[in-house]
Amino acid sequence: MEAVTRVSSTARAAGIVTVVVAALLGSAYVLGRSLVPDQPQRHATGVTTDADGPHYADQPPERPSAASPSPSPSPSANASQNAAGPTEAGQDGTGRDAGGDKLFGAHTGTGTARLALTFDDGPDPRYTPQVLATLREYDVKATFCVVGENAQDHPDLIQAIVADGHTLCNHSWHHDVTLGNRSADQIRADLVRTNEAIRAAVPDAPIVWYRQPGGAWTYPVVSVSQQLGMTPLHWSVDPSDWQAPGADKIASTVLAQARAGGVVLMHDAGGDRQGTVDALRRILPELSARYELEALPTDPT
């Protein structure tokens, strides 16, 4: 009987020890979890890649105003961009958009009666050569706003752009629409890195224009670009070709909105740009008949 009692007591003691150990382990786990910071959720960046290079979600839904330069535009919220219509270029090519919001001095026009065609986000090995060939066929010079990482990957296309007499424009290293909300040092490093990639391909080519991705202008990004000798460049006509609406839509929008002194925004990279390439063949004959088309000057001052 005494042996049975001892076994019962031992079992009870073992059970108590088990409960205590389990409680201690649970407390230790909870404490450990509280000391480990939560892992941030991953969010889409608006940039994907494929064999041809990066694809950019280009235009944010609105541009910052002078009263509120700091909010970060969302690269993925694209559908409502320019819903109010095209920007009208002032006589001096700078100043305000159609809604009256300041662009911190970014140029929306050429300042002359000439019309400028601009192509963003390249160079791209599939579409940039097609754009260059079409421009060459119609003897038109344009301005290419190039992304630093693409310039680094395709120096031969940067050389081809310059060889054909087109103007180069800095469009940031990685098409960062929030660049203007970073510190001045970060902005400067980004723009300098992009210029260095361009000049690695074409050492003597002037780079005197800067276009902020998405048109998300802020005072710091304008100020830094000017300190580096570049003039901030916006646009007055946006056919939203980054949304790939098709050649017919792109061509009809450009032809309807183009005005003397304007700056037309199009894309030769950042996604499927075949519609833009095809639209060019419909756009160039009529625009050439109506206006003198120019590459933006390399001495804008």
Q: Is position 38 within any domain?
A: no
Q: What is the CATH number of the domain that holds 139?
A: 3.20.20.370
Task: Reply yes or no on whether the pLDDT at 183 is more than 80.
Answer: yes
pTM above 0.75, yes or no: no
Distance separating alpha carbons of residues 282 and 203, to the nearest angstrom: 35
190-249 pLDDT, tens digit per residue, is: 999 999 999 999 999 999 999 999 999 999 999 999 999 999 999 999 999 999 999 999
Q: Is position 172 within any domain?
A: yes
Residue type, 56: Y
Task: Reply yes or no on whether the pLDDT at 77 is more than 90.
Answer: no
Q: Is position 119 within any domain?
A: yes
How many domains in the chain? Answer: 1
Bigger pLDDT: 55 vs 128: 128
Other beta carbons within 10 angstroms of residue 98's beta carbon come to 13
Q: Is position 55 within any domain?
A: yes
Other beta carbons within 10 angstroms of residue 171's beta carbon come to 31
Q: Is position 24 within any domain?
A: no
Where do we find the tokens 């031992």? 10
Q: Is position 8 within any domain?
A: no
134-154 pLDDT, tens digit per residue, is: 999 999 999 999 999 999 999
Looking at residue 102, what is its pLDDT? 74
Q: Is 261 helix (H, G, I), strand (E, B) or coil?
A: coil
Task: Reply yes or no on whether the pLDDT at 76 is more than 60.
Answer: no
Distance separating alpha carbons of residues 294 and 301, to the nearest angstrom: 16
Q: Which range of residues forms the domain containing residue 261?
A: 47-65+87-294
Q: Is position 121 within any domain?
A: yes
266-283 pLDDT, tens digit per residue, is: 999 999 999 999 999 999
Task: Reply yes or no on whether the pLDDT at 293 is more than 50.
Answer: yes
Distance separating alpha carbons of residues 174 and 179, to the nearest angstrom: 10
CA 177 centroid distance within chain: 5
Give catalytic residues, as residue numbers: 120, 267
Q: Is position 25 within any domain?
A: no
Bigger pLDDT: 5 vs 293: 293
37-56 pLDDT, tens digit per residue, is: 433 333 333 333 343 456 66
